[in-house]
Amino acid sequence: MFNTGLCNFDTRCNQQDMNALLNFKQGVTDLSGVLSSWTTQLDCCHWKGVICSNITSRVIGISLPCSTTLPSYSDEEDKSHCLTGSIHLSLLLVELEFLDYLNFTNNDFLALQFDYQHNHNCHNLSIPTSRQCVNSSTLRHLDLSFNRNLVINNLKWLPYISTLEYLNLCTVDLSEETNWLQLVTKLSSLSVLAMCDCQLKDLSLSLQYANFTGLQDLDLSFNEFKSELPKWLFNLSSTIRSLYLSNNSLMGHLPKDLLNLQELEDLVMTGNNFDGPIPDWLGHFKHLKTIDLSFNMFSGSIPTNLGNLSTLITLGVGFNTLTGVVSERNLAKLSKLKSLHISSYSTLIFDFDSDWIPPFQLEELTLKFSNPDLPAWLYTQRSIEGLFIFESSFEAPHKFWNLVSSVIELVLQDNSIVANMSNVLLNSTLIVLESNGLKGCLPQLSQQVKIVMLSNNSLSGELSPLLCGHNVSNGKNNLLYLDLSFNNISGGLTNCWKNWKSLVAIHLGSNNLSGKIPSSLGFLSNLTSLYLHENNLHGEIPLSLRNCHSLLTFNVRNNQLSGNIPDWISHGVLALQLRSNHFTGKISPQICEMSSLIVLDISQNTISGHIPNCLGNIKTLLFNNVSRNKLSFKFPLSSSNSYLFFEDSLELVTKGQVLQYEKNLHFMTLIDMSSNNLSGRIPPQMFSLIGLHSLNLSNNKLEGEIPNEIGNMKNLESLDFSTNQLGGVIPDSLSRLSFLGYLNLSFNNLTGKIPSGTQLQGFSVLSYMGNHDLCGPPLTKSCFPDDEHKKRELVHEDGNQFKFWTWFYIGLESGFVTGFLGVCCTIFLNRKLRHAFFKFLYDLKDRIHIMVMTNINRLHNYTGIFHS
């Protein structure tokens, strides 16, 4: 439509337009120099993204979309090279008098500014009412989509641009705007409205009519509507062609009023809560090309009337609770069909004639069925690019693998497939064959394969035929993601990794691999995820892995690896799991330079020495905002405008149990140093990690007191200091950790009363057992009155009272000894007193003798009476 940045030789940029563009540039942050050509030394019609009229030389368009590289191993694409800052929209609209086209899609803008006073025709108006003001803009096309961090609090500026025909705000945060529909309806010329994933909540159910006189495409997908379909939707103009309402929380039956939109070509309502039967009146649409009702709660059978939609290209009724029989009668007239999705969470039976040949050639097919065999007509399809089969049972002979050799995206997941993969060549770009019970040796991979996931099968043999075979060409492989975990693969890891430099993720955990980790893994400079856990690997981690600068997740738990903890691992690593090995030595302070770390698990080794004081330098654990570090691999599907996400997962010990973290891994923050030989005190700096959720230092030789700074860890959910040599009292600050759900302080030398408060008293006796001098609830041992007060004074004060009572008892004992010796000396030195003292002793002896003899005679008398 436009010639971007091109003008005739005799045209020159208008000075007013140039000044406006330069002013706009001032408000934009351009770290990568996208606008480097925007200088006065170059005619602005030759600036990047600027579109000028070949006749008037006036700027009529700005096109600056940002391209990002996919796939990416992150939650979002890397947009560090994209434009950011603010969009000063009113400046562009007023100063660029002939601006017709504006496209800033997929950048990283943060705010949109619209200065009502900037328009000289508008004076102190918050909502425009003047015709002269409203018609001041000529803009017809505005695209701000996929600026995922862009927040627009209100849309009151929209009516100023009354000429808009195309408006795309997808993924822009509009959660604060509750009046969005009423404002958008003021754009009477609008033909395309896309507001998907904008966090909209209100569908204006009370509104009967929406004033869209020329609207053709409406996309409100991925919002937060929790209602039935509104009445204004059924009263849209007869010009409406496409209606996208997928992935909301819409509910109820499909109303027959939808038939008012007779010109409808695309009806997409996937991922909602619609229920009841799929209505047969859907077969009355005359122009419908796409109908997708997948991922809802529809029940009953698939109506045969859908087979009357002769114009249909896409039919999606998958992943509902449909029952009944599907046969050729449902599909016989669909000669233009290219995409078919039939599956059910209930029992869906295929009853196709084995000789039936469909009138269509599919490009994409999704199936989930209850039959023991694949439908025979599948082998007549020669154009399939995407094949997806879930939770079904069938035999896959060689002709099946020959059929899928031309499929670009092959996903067979959670099936019971009878197949030996030893002599199979996989040729698809995307291959997901997880959880199928596949047997035999590993299949061969062609150079076209980018993603291969064969986890949770019964594959055996060695890696060498796959990685080092004669068909492996150095530097020509495109493999990005390799997942062979949970199989029976044996032998070594091989040393052929230099042929697979494109690899981003390697998952080989839970196999029978042995030997050492090969140094050739260091050739994988793009590697972000390395899983070698639960094998029989031994030796040290090779130094060559320091070349894997992009490593985010490194998991080698449950092996027999030895040596020191590697301190050269990428400083950008997010998860480091080395538990249950034979690592020795001390924890190097270099580990504190891993500033992005969210999971550090080095438990069950023989690591010694002190805990480094510098752990407080791990920046991601200082704040409670780690959810941005999502560990997922994003891969675009060529068969549709969607993506597949492969989530990293880790098995972690927290809250006293083993838990599997998958999609929620990026929310978890953990330090586990348990079951080692660590000694010394717990550094107070560790307790500055406010974002930490789980801390386990149990089964070590730690001593000293629990620092009072532990109360800073406001987000702590699990704390285990058991089986150490910690002493002193439990700090009162521990009772302020309101999220603490698990506590274990058992088998230490803690003393005194457990601090009062519902938090610490809510744990069982098991949390405190083995501390003999600990008392108070929930323990049965009571604290004596004032004992706890005295003990805390003795521990925390200057000890003056302790010294006083010590000298008091020493003086009392000395006085007694001195007095006793004084009395003895007086008696023995004075003759009269000495004679009187000895006379008293003789008299006392005689009296005692007479008393004893008298009592003996009485006893004999009583004895005689008893015998008589």
Predicted confidence at residue 810, as pLDDT, reads 57
Residue-by-residue DSSP string for 268-320: E--SSEEEEEPPGGGGG-SS--EEE--SSEEEEPPPGGGGG-TT-SEEE--SB
Distance set, CA 651 to CA 517, 664, 823 (Å): 21, 12, 79
Provide the CATH number for the domain formed by 552-627+639-797 in this structure.
Answer: 3.80.10.10
- pLDDT over 90 at 308, yes or no: no
Q: Which has more pLDDT, 639 or 436? A: 436
**DSSP-assigned letter for residue 507:** E
- 202 CB-near residues (< 8 Å, 6+ apart): 178, 180, 181, 225
3-class DSSP state of 654? strand
CA–CA separation, 363 and 546 (whole Å):
44
1-200 and 552-627+639-797 share one fold: yes
Question: Using an 8 Å Cβ cutoff, are 24 and 83 in contact?
Answer: no
Confidence band (pLDDT; 50, 70, 90) for 117?
Answer: low
Cα dihedral value 572, 575, 581, 586, nearest 10: 50
Question: Using an 8 Å Cβ cutoff, are 690 and 715 in contact?
Answer: yes
Confidence band (pLDDT; 50, 70, 90) for 469?
Answer: confident
Confidence band (pLDDT; 50, 70, 90) for 794?
Answer: very low
- Residue ranges of alpha helices (H) inside 131-270 are 131-134, 180-184, 231-234
Is 255 exposed, middle or buried, given 0-12, 13-18 or 19+ CB atoms closer than 10 A?
middle
Confidence band (pLDDT; 50, 70, 90) for 641?
Answer: low
Q: Per mean pLDDT, which range of 128-132, 201-205, 863-867 is the poorest?
A: 128-132
Most confident listed range (94-103, 109-118, 787-796): 94-103
Question: Using an 8 Å Cβ cutoff, are 232 and 256 in contact?
Answer: no
Question: Using an 8 Å Cβ cutoff, are 160 and 138 in contact?
Answer: no
CA–CA separation, 504 and 526 (whole Å):
5
- The 10 Å Cβ neighbour count of residue 486 is 20
Is 682 exposed, middle or buried, given 0-12, 13-18 or 19+ CB atoms closer than 10 A?
buried
CA–CA separation, 536 and 483 (whole Å):
18
Is 797 exposed, middle or buried, given 0-12, 13-18 or 19+ CB atoms closer than 10 A?
exposed
- pLDDT over 90 at 846, yes or no: no
Predicted confidence at residue 98, as pLDDT, reads 95
How many helical (H) and strand (E) elements, i.e. helices and strands, does the chain have?
11, 55
Q: Per mean pLDDT, which range of 8-12, 150-154, 226-230 is the poorest?
A: 8-12
Domain-wise residue ranges, the chain: 1-200, 552-627+639-797, 801-829
Distance set, CA 337 to CA 281, 329, 359, 383 (Å): 19, 14, 9, 12
- pLDDT over 70 at 835, yes or no: no
Strand boundaries in 637-776, DSSP class E: 643-647, 650-654, 657-661, 670-672, 677-681, 694-696, 701-705, 718-720, 725-729, 742-744, 749-753, 773-775
**Residue 483 dihedral angles phi and psi, to the nearest 5°:** -130, 110
What is the share, in percent, of the chain residues with pLDDT greater than 70?
Answer: 84
Mind listing the pLDDT tens digit for each residue in 22-81? 999 999 999 999 999 999 999 999 999 999 999 999 999 999 999 987 666 655 577 889
Mind listing the pLDDT tens digit for each residue in 664-712? 888 899 999 999 999 999 999 999 999 999 999 999 999 999 999 999 9
- 257 CB-near residues (< 8 Å, 6+ apart): 231, 234
Which helix (H) or strand (E) segment holds residue 101: the answer is strand 101-103
The token pair at 830 is 């004075």
Question: Using an 8 Å Cβ cutoff, are 466 and 487 in contact?
Answer: no
CA–CA separation, 689 and 680 (whole Å):
20
The token pair at 713 is 């860890």
The closest alpha carbon to 670, from 766, 603, 769, 757, belongs to: 603
- pLDDT over 90 at 519, yes or no: yes
Confidence band (pLDDT; 50, 70, 90) for 784?
Answer: confident
In the numeric block, the tokens 């991601």 are attached to 620
The closest alpha carbon to 543, from 509, 511, 566, belongs to: 566
Question: Is the Cα dihedral 762, 767, 770, 772 positive or negative?
Answer: negative
3-class DSSP state of 679? strand
Confidence band (pLDDT; 50, 70, 90) for 796?
Answer: very low
The closest alpha carbon to 744, from 697, 807, 684, 712, belongs to: 697
- Residue ranges of alpha helices (H) inside 80-139 are 89-95, 131-134
Confidence band (pLDDT; 50, 70, 90) for 373?
Answer: confident
- Residue ranges of alpha helices (H) inside 317-442 are 398-403
CA–CA separation, 554 and 631 (whole Å):
12
3-class DSSP state of 156? coil
The amino acid present at 121, given as its one-letter code, is N
The closest alpha carbon to 555, from 542, 574, 571, 539, belongs to: 574
CA–CA separation, 145 and 551 (whole Å):
31
Predicted confidence at residue 474, as pLDDT, reads 58
Predicted confidence at residue 662, as pLDDT, reads 85
In the numeric block, the tokens 């490593």 are attached to 551
- pLDDT over 60 at 146, yes or no: yes
- 820 CB-near residues (< 8 Å, 6+ apart): none
Question: Using an 8 Å Cβ cutoff, are 353 and 326 in contact?
Answer: no
Angle subtended at Cα 461 by Cα 457 and Cα 466, rounded to the nearest 5 degrees: 90
Q: What's the rounded mean pLDDT across residues 799-824?
A: 53
The amino acid present at 281, given as its one-letter code, is W
- 258 CB-near residues (< 8 Å, 6+ apart): 229, 234, 264, 267
Strand boundaries in 317-377, DSSP class E: 321-322, 324-326, 339-342, 348-350, 364-367
Question: Using an 8 Å Cβ cutoff, are 374 and 403 in contact?
Answer: no
- pLDDT over 70 at 409, yes or no: yes
DSSP percent split of the chain into helix, strand, coil, nearest 5:
25, 25, 50
- pLDDT over 60 at 833, yes or no: no
Q: Per mean pLDDT, which range of 161-165, 180-184, 373-377, 755-759 is the poorest?
A: 755-759
The average confidence (pLDDT) of the chain is 86
User: What's the pTM value of the predicted model, to 2 decimals?
Assistant: 0.81
Burial letters 487-509, b for 16+ CB under 10 A, else e = bebeeebbebbebbeebbbbbbb
**Architecture, CATH, for domain 1-200:** Alpha-Beta Horseshoe (3.80)
Predicted confidence at residue 647, as pLDDT, reads 85
In the numeric block, the tokens 């003999």 are attached to 772
Question: Using an 8 Å Cβ cutoff, are 368 and 346 in contact?
Answer: no
The closest alpha carbon to 191, from 153, 169, 164, 158, belongs to: 164
**Residue 659 dihedral angles phi and psi, to the nearest 5°:** -125, 145
- 619, HSE (Cβ side, Cα atoms, 13 Å): 8
CA–CA separation, 777 and 745 (whole Å):
14
- pLDDT over 80 at 831, yes or no: no
Confidence band (pLDDT; 50, 70, 90) for 836?
Answer: low
